[in-house]
Chain A
Amino acid sequence: MQIFDGFKQRFGQSAIGLAMAGKKNPWGAGNKGGDEASGEKPSGQSGDEPSGEKSEGPRNPWLPGGGSGDGAGGKGRRAPNIEDLFKNRGPEGPRRGGPGGPNFRLPQRPGGKSWAPILIVGVALIWIGLTSVHFVQPREQAVVTWFGGKYQDTLNPGTNWTYPWPVQQVTATDVSEIRSEDVPKKLILTGDQNLVDLGYLIRWNIKDLTLFEFQLADPEETVLEAAETAMRSSVAEKTLDAVISGEGRADIEQNVLTRMQGILDAYGSGINVQGIEIDKSDPPEQVIEAFNDVLAAQQNAEQEINQARRYAQQLLARAEGDAAAFNNIYEEYRLAPEVTRRRLYYETMEAVLANTDKTFIEADGVTPYLPLSEVQRRSQQAASQAQQGGQ
């Protein structure tokens, strides 16, 4: 640099000659001073840099660099320049990516070196706080295991402390909640080899949480299967009528409960069966008509009996009425038999004859000629007159 500077100072005019020589270089920046032209050479030597950025970039930034002057010779100046390039570019590096990427992440938190430990400790404290306090709800219990492995303890409702998460792991489960499984209607064989369409409800909860968690691979499925087994064997002890009519229902429910609890206890399932409710027990759909017809037959029989009772009531009432009437008249008759008899006779004949056509034959020995046709005609006339009169 000093050489060039000396040229510049002493032979200000002759710099053109040098510039002329500079024209020959591939950068073609002939109009600039020799300083600039020579400054470009190092960039050419750092061939592994992307040339796209370099073509413009290096020219100006390096000018002050050249100007400051390290005091080194032309050759000595070039080598440090490459290192400078890396060093100075360092902080701006991220947009380039490439080598040394991770180096550039750290300086992004430059608020003093103490920031990172504080952050780490803070996060750790929050983590410990969140994962080592457990508020177990009133109906829940929680199982604590070491690293998800060995069982440690069962937590009861309330505030509980454990080691933070990966060390002790806590699984809370609602143990008092009654779970119910609705088993849809299915055909079940009864003791008299009939079929009944039966649906029921199982209510259960967790008796022992550790057993429930660790003993059975699939507790829910086991509940259902135990219930079905128990239900079918209990129904098989009853006749169809007992199952359908409901008289045996309480019995069956009790049997199922006992059996089911027995099975589940034998597996050590930690499950408590609260109750079994048969909600539907009907004859199979295919034969329901016949069953309904039995009900209809019962209605019919009732109806027949009711009709007979009605008849009986009417008949008896009538008989009693008639008897009472006869008794009354008989009392009178007994007091005055002849008179009463006559009176009754005349009253009756009077009423009868007043209402009828009469033909009276008095002559003795005359063969009575009965003009039946005449009689009929007259009665027809009377009928037609009555009709006309009506019109």
Chain B
Amino acid sequence: MENVWQNYRLAIISVAIAAVAAAASLFVVPETKQAVIISAGNPTKIVNMYRPDEPYGQTGAGFYWRIPLYERVQMVERRVLDLDMDNQQVLTSDQQRLQVNAYARFRIIQPRIMVERAGDETRLISQLSPILTSVLRQELGRRTFASLLTAERGNAMTNIRDQLDRQAREYGAQIIDVRIKAADLPEGTPLQAAFTRMQSERQEEAATIRAQGRKNAQIIRAEADADAANTYAAAYGKDPQFYDFYRAMQSYRTTFINAEGESSMILSEDNEYFRQFRGQ
């Protein structure tokens, strides 16, 4: 078997050299990347550049050759990228502070310009991020706090996107969309003040509800009193004199019999009760 080596030595060596050469000069561009070929420091050729109406499968992705050592390949993202802005305090036109968290979505449409002016994606993001912040501050600073919470914000976002897009094109990027993820009250006094206001609003609501309850209860009682008086009047009004007598009798029973404690009575003979007693 050692003959294989001896007999085909030349072939084996040449295959190995070919493989190494191929590995050094062949490269695959996936659908998700654009490739910038840099020959001796100058970006000369772009492979699989983004075009909006190209369906996948008909893009420039695939195998490509380069001259080893002389040409260098830099892969640039072809997909939509994410530019995140950390929490930023923005002062609105009515002097309210607002903590804003935004993001932008962008795509590199001019990889050559991007490679020349920014370098790579990470550096591009670090270039764009302060621009986003300042554009956002500027635009939101013209609006009132309340308007930032409403749908009118859409207009602001379009302005911000356009401004950012103008500057991003300088770096070969296209801004697809800018959106405010969160517009919050900043931690500390503003947030605390909001909490206090919410609290006092609720306290007011609670007090109102209680007062309403008391009021309603009072009305119900008063109505009942009136109804009862009405009922009484309807009955007793038939004969006020008899009512007087009847009620007096009831009252005596209640006072002297059912009441607590001893009762003593000093009775005069003139009492009506003793009329028969006196023999009259």
Question: Which residues of A have CB within 8 Å of B30?
Answer: 145, 148-149
The answer to whether A151 and B263 touch across the interface, beta carbons within 8 angstroms, is: no
Question: Which residues of A have CB within 8 Å of B198?
Answer: 194-195, 240, 283-284, 287, 290
Shortest distance between the CB of A115 and any CB in chain B (Å):
9
The answer to whether B266 and A359 touch across the interface, beta carbons within 8 angstroms, is: yes
The answer to whether B216 and A304 touch across the interface, beta carbons within 8 angstroms, is: yes
User: Which of A214, A221, A318, A337 contacts B56, CB < 8 Å?
Assistant: A214
Shortest distance between the CB of B245 and any CB in chain A (Å):
6
B interface bracket (residues with beta carbon within 8 Å of A): 35 or more
A86 at the binding interface (Cβ < 8 Å): no
Interface-side segment among A7-15, A24-32, A156-164, A325-333? A325-333
What 0/1 pattern do residues 186 to 211 of B give for CB contact below 8 A with A? 00000100110011111101110110
Question: Which residues of B have CB within 8 Å of A116?
Answer: 1, 4
* Chain B residue at smallest Cβ distance from A324: B235
Query: Assuming A149-B61, A267-B176, A319-B229, what are 7 further A-B pairs, CB within 8 angstroms?
Result: A106-B2, A110-B1, A113-B1, A150-B62, A151-B57, A225-B82, A360-B266
A210 at the binding interface (Cβ < 8 Å): yes
Shortest distance between the CB of B132 and any CB in chain A (Å):
14
* Chain A residue at smallest Cβ distance from B268: A361
* Chain A residue at smallest Cβ distance from B183: A189
Please name 22 pairs of A and B residues whose Cβ atoms are closer than 8 Å in the assembled complex, sorted by A.
A150-B62, A189-B183, A195-B185, A195-B194, A213-B31, A221-B82, A225-B181, A229-B181, A240-B198, A263-B179, A287-B198, A290-B200, A297-B206, A300-B210, A311-B224, A312-B220, A319-B227, A322-B235, A358-B266, A359-B264, A360-B267, A361-B267
Question: Which residues of B have CB within 8 Å of A269?
Answer: 80
A62 at the binding interface (Cβ < 8 Å): no
Question: Which residues of B have CB within 8 Å of A352?
Answer: 252-253, 256-257
Question: Given A308-B217, A327-B235, A352-B257, do A228 and B2 touch, yes or no (CB 8 Å)?
Answer: no
The answer to whether A307 and B56 touch across the interface, beta carbons within 8 angstroms, is: no
Count, A-B residue pairs, CB within 8 A: 286
The answer to whether A300 and B213 touch across the interface, beta carbons within 8 angstroms, is: yes
Shortest distance between the CB of A322 and any CB in chain B (Å):
7
In chain B, positions 1-46 with a C-beta closer than 8 Å to chain A are 1-2, 4-5, 28-32
Question: Which residues of A have CB within 8 Å of B65?
Answer: none
Shortest distance between the CB of A230 and any CB in chain B (Å):
9
B269 at the binding interface (Cβ < 8 Å): yes
The answer to whether B202 and A222 touch across the interface, beta carbons within 8 angstroms, is: no
Question: Given A236-B150, A323-B231, do A229 and B180 touch, yes or no (CB 8 Å)?
Answer: yes
The answer to whether B249 and A344 touch across the interface, beta carbons within 8 angstroms, is: yes
User: Which of A146, A194, A267, A344 contacts B105, CB < 8 Å?
Assistant: A267
The answer to whether B256 and A322 touch across the interface, beta carbons within 8 angstroms, is: no
* Chain B residue at smallest Cβ distance from A322: B232
B170 at the binding interface (Cβ < 8 Å): no
B262 at the binding interface (Cβ < 8 Å): yes
Interface of chain A, main secondary structure: helix
Shortest distance between the CB of A253 and any CB in chain B (Å):
18
The answer to whether A148 and B28 touch across the interface, beta carbons within 8 angstroms, is: yes
B149 at the binding interface (Cβ < 8 Å): yes
The answer to whether B105 and A359 touch across the interface, beta carbons within 8 angstroms, is: no
Question: Which residues of B have CB within 8 Å of A41?
Answer: none
The answer to whether B220 and A145 touch across the interface, beta carbons within 8 angstroms, is: no
The answer for the CA separation of A104 and B2 in the assembled complex, in Å, is 7
User: Which of B5, B234, B269 contacts A362, CB < 8 Å?
Assistant: B269
> Interface size (A, Cβ < 8 Å)?
111
Question: Given A189-B183, A308-B217, A360-B267, do A152 and B57 touch, yes or no (CB 8 Å)?
Answer: yes
The answer to whether B206 and A232 touch across the interface, beta carbons within 8 angstroms, is: no
B265 at the binding interface (Cβ < 8 Å): yes
The answer to whether B213 and A301 touch across the interface, beta carbons within 8 angstroms, is: yes
The answer for the CA separation of A323 and B246 in the assembled complex, in Å, is 12
Question: Given A102-B5, A146-B62, A149-B61, do A194 and B263 touch, yes or no (CB 8 Å)?
Answer: no
A68 at the binding interface (Cβ < 8 Å): no
The answer to whether B31 and A145 touch across the interface, beta carbons within 8 angstroms, is: yes
In chain B, positions 238-257 with a C-beta closer than 8 Å to chain A are 238-239, 242-243, 245-246, 249, 252-253, 256-257
User: Which of B4, B80, B243 contacts A267, CB < 8 Å?
Assistant: B80
B142 at the binding interface (Cβ < 8 Å): no
Question: Which residues of B have CB within 8 Å of A304?
Answer: 210, 213-214, 216-217
The answer for the CA separation of A240 and B198 in the assembled complex, in Å, is 10
* Chain A residue at smallest Cβ distance from B231: A319
Question: Which residues of A have CB within 8 Å of B69?
Answer: none
User: Which of A194, A293, A348 contacts B194, CB < 8 Å?
Assistant: A194
Question: Which residues of B have CB within 8 Å of A104?
Answer: 2
* Chain B residue at smallest Cβ distance from A379: B262
The answer to whether A356 and B265 touch across the interface, beta carbons within 8 angstroms, is: yes
Question: Which residues of B have CB within 8 Å of A337?
Answer: 242
The answer for the CA separation of A103 and B4 in the assembled complex, in Å, is 10
Question: Which residues of B have CB within 8 Å of A362?
Answer: 269
What 0/1 pattern do residues 227 to 269 of A give for CB contact below 8 A with B? 0110011001100100000000000000000000001001111
The answer for the CA separation of A284 and B187 in the assembled complex, in Å, is 14
Question: Given A106-B4, A189-B183, A357-B262, do A290 and B213 touch, yes or no (CB 8 Å)?
Answer: no
User: Which of A113, A146, A191 contacts B149, CB < 8 Å?
Assistant: A191
